[in-house]
Amino acid sequence: MIVIFGASGDLTRKKLIPALYNLFKKGTLTDSIICLARKKFSTEDFIESLQLAENIGSNEIDPEFISYLTYYPTDFRKPDINLLQTVLSKEEETIFYLAVGPDLFQPIIDIIKQLGISRKKVVFEKPFGFDLGSATELNDCISKTFNEKEIYRIDHYLGKEMVQNILVFRFANSIFEQIWNRDFIEKVEITISEAAGIGRRAEYYENAGALRDMMQNHLLQLLALTAMNPPISMQADDIRDEVVKVLRKVKTLNFKVAQYESYRQEIEKPDSVTETYAALTLNIDEAKWQGVPFELKTGKKLAQRYAEINLIIKDVTCRLFSRERKIKNLPNTITLRIQPNEGIMVKFNAKIPGAGMDLQQVKMDFCHKCEFGPNTPEAYESLLYEIMEGDQTLFTRWDSVEASWKIIDPIRQQKKQLSFYQEGSEVF
C-alpha cells in the first residue's frame, strides 16, 4: 500500500500520480493508493483535481487505476488516527510518501508512529534541512522512529536515466575508466542551467537560493558519482560509501553568486540578496584528482535548459601537428548529457578531407532515445520502482547529506558580493 501525505500538491499531481500510473500499466503497481491532504475533497473531487488526462498525457485513463485511488481529508496536526487505522493494515508493507515541507515532517512522523505498522518505508522530499544544524535536528527526529533502511531521501536527479548511466559508462568501459584521473583530465564541468524562473515558489526560493536548492543536493551528487572510486560491489551501501568518501574530501577553491535582474521585482523585495545563480570551483583532496578543478554551475532564467557533465581532456604531450603545421589542437572532451537529448558525446580531432593536414573537431554521439526508444522511464517512475523493490542505491544516506551541508554552509556564511545578470544569459 502507498500513502501520500500532501496529495493535493503539484508534486503529486504532476509527478507522483503519472509515475504510479506508468508503473500500473507495466504491471508493477498492484496496491491501493491512499491520498491525504487538508483540502475537503471527496475522492471523486480529488480525482478530478488531478487532471489525469493532462498530466498523464492520455484521454483514456484505465478505470482500474482510478479505483486504486482513495482520498481522505486530513489535518496532519490533528489527525483522525482511528480512521487511518481502519484504512491501513498493520501487517501490510506500507510506503509513506511525505510530499510536504519539512515543517510537517514531525507531525506526520507522529502519525506513522501511532499507526504501529511494522513493515514500512518512509520517503522524504528535499529540502532536507536548510543548513547542517537544521538537517541534523531533522535527522535526529526521523531516526528516533525509523532506521536508515526504512528511510528514502529523494533527490530526483538520481532517478534520471543518464545519471544512473554514469557508473555504467565509467566502470563497464575500460577505455574510459583508464583515463578517468588527473593524468588525463584537465578539468570537470558540471552544469545545470534552467531557462525558467522561480515560478510559484517565491517564498521557498527566497529562503533557499541556488546554493541550497540545487548545489547542496543535485550538483554535489553528480560530482560524487563522477569522481568516486569503484565500489566493492553494486550493493546500495557500497556505492553510497564511495559517494560519501568523495564528498568528505571536497575543498572549495572559489565561488561566485549572482541574481537575475528582475528577481527583486518578481518577489517584491527590493533588498533581496538571494542568489539565483551559483558557480563553485572545487577540488578533491585525493591523489587521483590532485590539481583537477571541478566547476559546478547552476542558475535560473538562463539562455537554455540543460544539464551535463563535461570532462576536458589534457592536451597531447607530443603536440606534433600544432608544432610542425601550426595547427591548433582543439581539446578532446567527453560530455554526459543528462537533459534534454540524453546521451554521451566524445569530441576529438580528425583530418579534413583533401590536400594538406588541416584538422577539425568531430564527434561520436550516443543518443539514448535513438538507441533505446522514446519511452525511457521518468525520474520519479524509476525512484518509486526502486522504493517498491527496497533498493536504496538512488537515495541519499544521512552521512552524504551531512557531508554536503558541510561543503555548502561555509560558502553561504562568507559574504561574497552579489552580482547581477540579464535574463537569457549564457552560463558564466
CATH H-level, domain 158-421: superfamily: Dihydrodipicolinate Reductase; domain 2 (3.30.360.10)
- For residue 313, pLDDT over 60 is answered with yes
Q: Give the residue numbers annotated as catalytic, written as ranges.
A: 218
**In the structure, what pLDDT confidence band is assigned to residue 354 with cuts at 50, 70 and 90?**
confident
**In the structure, what pLDDT confidence band is assigned to residue 318 with cuts at 50, 70 and 90?**
low
pLDDT, residue 320, reads 66
User: Do you know the residue count of the chain?
Assistant: 428
Q: Are 235 and 197 spatial neighbours (Cβ–Cβ below 8 Å)?
A: no
CA distance 287 to 37: 51
Q: For the chain, give every residue range classified as CATH 3.30.360.10.
A: 158-421
**In the structure, what pLDDT confidence band is assigned to residue 252 with cuts at 50, 70 and 90?**
very high
pLDDT, residue 329, reads 67
- For residue 247, pLDDT over 90 is answered with yes
Average confidence score pLDDT of the chain: 93
Considering only 25-34, 262-271, 315-324, which range has the smallest mean pLDDT?
A: 315-324
Give the model confidence (pLDDT) of 115-155 as tens digits: 999 899 999 998 899 999 999 999 999 999 999 999 999 99
Task: Find the mean pLDDT for residues 81-103.
Answer: 91
Give the model confidence (pLDDT) of 279-306 as tens digits: 999 999 999 999 999 999 999 999 999 9
C-alpha cell recorded at residue 414: 562568507
CA distance 287 to 250: 13
pLDDT, residue 302, reads 98
pLDDT, residue 321, reads 66
**In the structure, what pLDDT confidence band is assigned to residue 328 with cuts at 50, 70 and 90?**
low
Q: Are 161 and 376 spatial neighbours (Cβ–Cβ below 8 Å)?
A: yes
- For residue 327, pLDDT over 70 is answered with no
Q: What percent of the chain has pLDDT over 90?
A: 80
Cis peptide before 340 (omega within 30 of 0): yes
Identify the bridge partners of residue 334 per DSSP, sorted by sequence position.
311, 346
Cis peptide before 374 (omega within 30 of 0): no
- For residue 319, pLDDT over 70 is answered with no
Q: Are 321 and 357 spatial neighbours (Cβ–Cβ below 8 Å)?
A: yes
pLDDT, residue 33, reads 96
CA distance 153 to 142: 11
**Domain 2-125: which topology?**
Rossmann fold (3.40.50)
Sequence-distant (6+) residues with CB within 8 A of 308 are: 189, 190, 191, 335, 336, 337, 338
Q: For the chain, give every residue range classified as CATH 3.40.50.720.
A: 2-125
- Dihedral sign, CA of 4, 7, 12, 17? positive
pLDDT, residue 323, reads 56
**In the structure, what pLDDT confidence band is assigned to residue 54 with cuts at 50, 70 and 90?**
confident
Give the model confidence (pLDDT) of 191-228 as tens digits: 999 999 998 889 999 999 999 999 999 999 999 999 99
Give the model confidence (pLDDT) of 378-419 as tens digits: 899 999 999 999 999 999 999 999 999 999 999 999 977 899
